[in-house]
Amino acid sequence: MCFGRYVSIYDLQDAVENGATVPIVYEARQIKLAENANHDELFAEIDELLEGEKNPKLRLREKLLGSEARLHDLAVDFVQHFAKRNEVVDSKAMMVVSSRQICVDLYNQIIALHPEWHSDNINEGAIKIVMTGSASDASEMQKHVYSKQEKQTLRTPL
């Protein structure tokens, strides 16, 4: 909906110029869907999952985007790219994925490649997940859900 003209626009470039944030560099990187997966096996599993599903397209998308082979490829690409970038300049990285489950699964893939990056301690470790959660989440999800104060702690460099 539009209710008239903008009174003021404060965009990211303004925030960088004012020192409120640092420049953000976006590098689009794509990993093909289920590139290395056994497609017959994957589609059989998908058919089983989607049976009686209210929104089969969402479940299909989740299954394809979150396939173990794809997340492994993504983790390898991320680790290599991040290492190469840090040879030039110390930096941080942020990844955005399509679901909390994919986020946790990707985290696990990255930690499998670099176990030293993990720590259960909020003040230690090189990689953290920041996501919302609820008491009904599975325990593998809940360990990545932080309080408001803990999230504030994560804003500082690890």
Calculate the CA 133 to chain-centre distance.
15
* Its pTM surpasses 0.85: no
- Give whole-number Cα distances, 129 to 44, 59, 94, 107, in Å: 31, 22, 10, 8
Is residue 148 within 8 Å of 133, Cβ to Cβ? Answer: no
Q: For 104-144, what is each residue's pLDDT tens digit?
A: 999 999 999 999 999 999 889 999 998 988 888 898 999 99
State the number of CA atoms in the 13 A half-sphere of 66 facing the CB: 20
Q: For 30-82, what is each residue's pLDDT tens digit?
A: 777 755 556 666 667 767 766 766 777 777 788 888 989 999 999 999 999 99
Residue 22 phi, psi dihedral angles, 5° rounding: -95, 160
